[in-house]
């Protein structure tokens, strides 16, 4: 089975689903998401090892969202998707860019204004 997957990826993928119906760009999108989730786990592990707790994972989400924005915009710009799908990826990328900026702002102390005593 492993030899089949290595030598004929379309045939091995076809065991589970119709591989002709899956565009290469969507496989790339799933690869971006898988690497993103892996980075979050690495950030959490780093926090456990260094004693910084969830702060490391939060910074991993900032970096991950920047990666997601760049990757989604790159996939959209490649022309491998229909225009509507490409616009959707760019929208999600920009949305995550905003989330990264907001999280980074909170992590550097921007969210402490409301917790100070009057």
Number of domains in the chain: 1
Residue 110: pLDDT band (50, 70, 90) is: confident
In a domain, residue 25? The reply is: no
Query: What confidence score (pLDDT) does residue 90 get?
Result: 96
In a domain, residue 20? The reply is: no
**42, 57, 96 from 92: Cα distances, Å:** 23, 21, 6
Query: What confidence score (pLDDT) does residue 118 get?
Result: 38
In a domain, residue 8? The reply is: no
CA 100/CA 60 separation, integer angstroms:
10
Domain housing 64: 36-109
In this prediction the pTM is: 0.75
CA 62/CA 69 separation, integer angstroms:
11
Sign of CA dihedral 17, 64, 53, 44: positive
Residue 101: pLDDT band (50, 70, 90) is: very high
Query: What confidence score (pLDDT) does residue 10 get?
Result: 57
In a domain, residue 22? The reply is: no
Q: CB-hemisphere CA count at 13 Å for 28?
A: 17
Range with the poorest average pLDDT among 15-19, 21-25, 39-43: 15-19
72 in Cβ contact with 66 (< 8 Å): no
Residue 15: pLDDT band (50, 70, 90) is: low
């Amino acid at each position: 089975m492993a030899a089949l997957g290595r030598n004929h990826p379309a045939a091995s993928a076809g065991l589970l689903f119709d591989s002709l119906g899956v565009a290469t760009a969507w496989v790339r999108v799933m690869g971006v998401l898988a690497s993103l989730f892996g980075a979050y786990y690495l950030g959490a592990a780093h926090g456990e090892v260094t004693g910084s707790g969830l702060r490391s994972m939060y910074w991993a989400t900032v970096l991950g969202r920047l990666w997601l924005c760049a990757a989604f915009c790159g996939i959209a710009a490649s022309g491998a998707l229909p225009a509507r799908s490409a616009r959707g990826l760019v929208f999600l990328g920009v949305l995550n860019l905003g989330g990264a900026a907001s999280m980074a702002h909170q992590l550097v102390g921007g969210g402490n204004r409301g917790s100070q005593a009057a």
